[in-house]
Amino acid sequence: MDKERCKPDKCDLVCIRFCPMVRTRKEAIRLGEDGKAYVSEIICSGCGICVKKCPFDALRIVNLPDELETDHIHRFGPNAFTLYRLPTPKRGHVTGLLGRNGMGKSTILRVMSGEMVPNLGRHEEPAEKEKVIENFRGKPMEEYFRGVYDGSAKAVHKPQYVDKIPRVVQGKTGELLKKLDERGALESILDDLEIRHLMDRDLEVLSGGELQRVAIAAAIIREAQVYLFDEPSSFLDIYQRTRAARIIRRLAEDNRMVVAAEHDLAVLDYLSDDVFLLYGEPDVYGIVSNTHTVREGINIYINGYIPDENIRFRPSPIVFHEKPPAEQTGKTYTLLSWTRLVKDFGGFRLEVEAGGIGMGEVVGILGMNGIGKTTFVKMLAGVEVPTEGSVSNPEIKVSYKPQYISASVEGTVEQVLRKAAGTKFTESWYNTEVMEPLHVRRLLDRDVGVLSGGELQRVAIAECLSRDAEIYLLDEPSAYLDVEERLAVARSIRRITKMKGVTAFVVEHDIVTQDFIADKLMVFTGEAGVRGHAGDPVNLEDGMNGFLRIMEVTFRRDPDTKRPRVNKPGSRLDRDQKHTGRYYYSS
């Protein structure tokens, strides 16, 4: 039951009044001390009457196979999230975890690090380490947990929410890292992650990307047998993601175990040797699949069907471009143009070549952090005024989703979206193109101030797309979102852009998402915090080739799913594509 959606004062608890088990005094649904309804999992027969009668969509009934009870790992309480099975890491391998938000990836990493002792589904009893070891007797995880619990196999965990680090750790970055340098690897890591200039800075003044790189460094320089990374690519640009992935992979070369939960498919593909998928119902239960090779596992996830378990967890596969979008022929209508733009902040200078964009096009913006991508978007939105140059058609309607979103807006999600959408809020197309794809319907009654990062991101995107505008500007819309949410957002942006004949500019570091969404690309180059430069929008293939040449990374096209795949550096394909100049879209 969703406690936040339950409104007993507005519905007179119809779920209790209509429950057949209550009528027979079995009390499958009862009234709690807080005045809200609670469901007994033991007595509930799963008839579904309460689900249909509830006016606030607060109840869901989920039936699970009986055989899963033998694979119970952890349960957070009655009617609370349940995790089934654990991945089995291997020495000398990087094991990837792939699944939607709310499926238990972070819980798995906490269990494997020893921070959380799993209760094996018996939430009413205290969790005990001895029971965990006994539960895995005769299996590889018996030795794993015995080593983690007695300290003979140390595990290091890089947490998901690096932006919370300054709340628990204070002081200079250099002081922290020097204390943790158990392997004597700090000097080389500082150069590999390009964080040497941060050594004299306080942790509390670091940006999200800087905190992420410091957190990765803090994990790598410690001496351990197991390294666990929770979303190591968050806040990083594609260049930083690639470098971080290379460094993490090196840990496995010394016969260590490495496990990484990651939403960026390109990074996961580049990073991992094998992968475990997580499927189920977000925030209700999560099941860990059998192990698969990284290519096979990601392709299974894209197709939504696990053959060896005969499980379909998505009704249809995700479809990628088989080839780059073709150039539009015939007459084009320029919706927006700009002269050569310059924005000079004193210590930083951005130059953008003259250009323009037509109707019904999605322009992806790629580049390193700190070289002016957000500044350019703000100039288009009218938030920043260029030092030199101008944007044509200043009266054009613009809808802008900023990079950093906050929950400072008061009211419910429904109030925010109704204000942005106006009369469109009640139309069927709005529900089909915005509400359902972005999964915001279940959030309508929630106050904006209590939303999680991913929920807040989806609401901010929905608000941006709800406004009447001719240009939509979205700065890093995939932050905090899982793979399916990222591609759902990309699909919504494309459909609305084409349907309305408007234009969208999307700043995004996820190469797979950019490949999925963009018709054209603007590539930003320069030196972070010093200077930035961007040319006119070019077609997707030329833009990707130019950008990946700078990054020294090559992509190929998966023959089955057509998704972009990163070539391992120095591999035959990597060498061949670099030799021919085909950094992108080689089949």
> What is the chain's Cα-based Rg?
25
Sign of the alpha-carbon torsion through 241, 243, 249, 251: negative
For residues 274 and 577, what is the distance between their CA atoms, to the nearest angstrom? Answer: 25
For residues 337 and 538, what is the distance between their CA atoms, to the nearest angstrom? Answer: 14
CB atoms within 10 A of CB 509: 27
For residues 108 and 395, what is the distance between their CA atoms, to the nearest angstrom? Answer: 51
For residues 184 and 90, what is the distance between their CA atoms, to the nearest angstrom? Answer: 25
Q: How distant is the alpha carbon of residue 436 from its chain centre?
A: 18
Domain ranges of the chain: 8-53, 334-551, 552-587
Tokens representing 453 are 């990062």
- Is residue 546 within a helix (H) or strand (E), and if so which, with residue range? helix 540-551
For residues 443 and 456, what is the distance between their CA atoms, to the nearest angstrom? Answer: 10
Closest CA to 493 of 520, 467, 474, 515: 474
Q: How many residues are there in the chain?
A: 587
For residues 128 and 119, what is the distance between their CA atoms, to the nearest angstrom? Answer: 7
| Residues in CB range of 283: below 8 A, 6 or more apart | 81, 102
Strands 226-230 and 155-158: parallel
For residues 545 and 580, the answer to whether their CB atoms sit within 8 Å is no
pTM of the model: 0.82
Q: Which amino acid is at 425?
A: F
Within 13 Å, how many C-alpha atoms sit on residue 525's CB side? 10
For residues 40 and 27, the answer to whether their CB atoms sit within 8 Å is yes
- Three-state SS letters, 107-157: HHHHHHHCCCCCCCCCCCCCCCHHHHHHHCCCCHHHHHHHHHHHCCCCEEE
For residues 104 and 282, what is the distance between their CA atoms, to the nearest angstrom? Answer: 9
pLDDT of residue 331: 43
For residues 272 and 96, what is the distance between their CA atoms, to the nearest angstrom? Answer: 5
Closest CA to 478 of 457, 459, 451: 457
Q: Which amino acid is at 437?
A: P
Sign of the alpha-carbon torsion through 490, 245, 140, 122: negative
Closest CA to 135 of 145, 125, 149: 145
CB atoms within 10 A of CB 402: 17
For residues 248 and 265, the answer to whether their CB atoms sit within 8 Å is no
Please give the CATH superfamily to which domain 334-551 belongs. P-loop containing nucleotide triphosphate hydrolases (3.40.50.300)
CB atoms within 10 A of CB 39: 20
Beta partners for residue 556, in sequence order = 565, 586
Angle at 90 between CA 89 and CA 95, to 5 degrees: 55
- Is residue 278 within a helix (H) or strand (E), and if so which, with residue range? strand 274-281
For residues 520 and 540, the answer to whether their CB atoms sit within 8 Å is yes
| Residues in CB range of 158: below 8 A, 6 or more apart | 215, 216, 218, 219, 227, 228, 229, 230, 232
Reading the chain (587 residues) residue by residue, the pLDDT tens digits are 677 777 877 787 888 878 887 766 677 887 777 778 778 777 787 787 888 888 877 877 776 655 566 789 999 988 788 999 999 999 999 999 999 988 999 999 999 999 999 999 888 888 899 999 999 999 999 999 999 999 999 999 999 888 788 888 888 999 999 999 999 999 999 999 999 999 999 988 888 888 999 999 999 999 999 999 999 998 888 888 888 998 999 999 888 999 999 999 989 998 999 999 999 988 889 999 999 999 999 999 999 999 999 989 888 888 776 655 555 544 455 778 889 999 999 889 999 999 888 788 899 999 888 889 988 988 888 888 899 998 876 677 889 988 777 766 778 999 999 999 999 999 988 988 899 989 898 888 888 888 888 889 999 999 999 999 988 999 889 888 888 888 889 889 988 988 888 889 999 888 888 888 888 999 999 988 889 999 989 988 889 898 888 888 888 888 888 888 888 888 899 999 999 988 886 55
In b/e form, how buried is each residue of 54-88, taking b as 16+ CB within 10 angstroms? bebebbbeeeeeeeeeebbbbbeeebebbbbbbbb
**Where would I find the H helices in 235-362?**
238-252, 265-271, 294-303
3-state secondary structure of 498: helix
- Is residue 401 within a helix (H) or strand (E), and if so which, with residue range? strand 398-401
For residues 117 and 129, what is the distance between their CA atoms, to the nearest angstrom? Answer: 6
Q: Which amino acid is at 4?
A: E
Quickly count helices (H) and strands (E) in the chain: 22, 25
Q: Which amino acid is at 446?
A: R
Strands 334-338 and 355-358: antiparallel
* 380 to 67, 244, 345: CA distances (angstroms): 56, 32, 17
Q: Which amino acid is at 549?
A: R
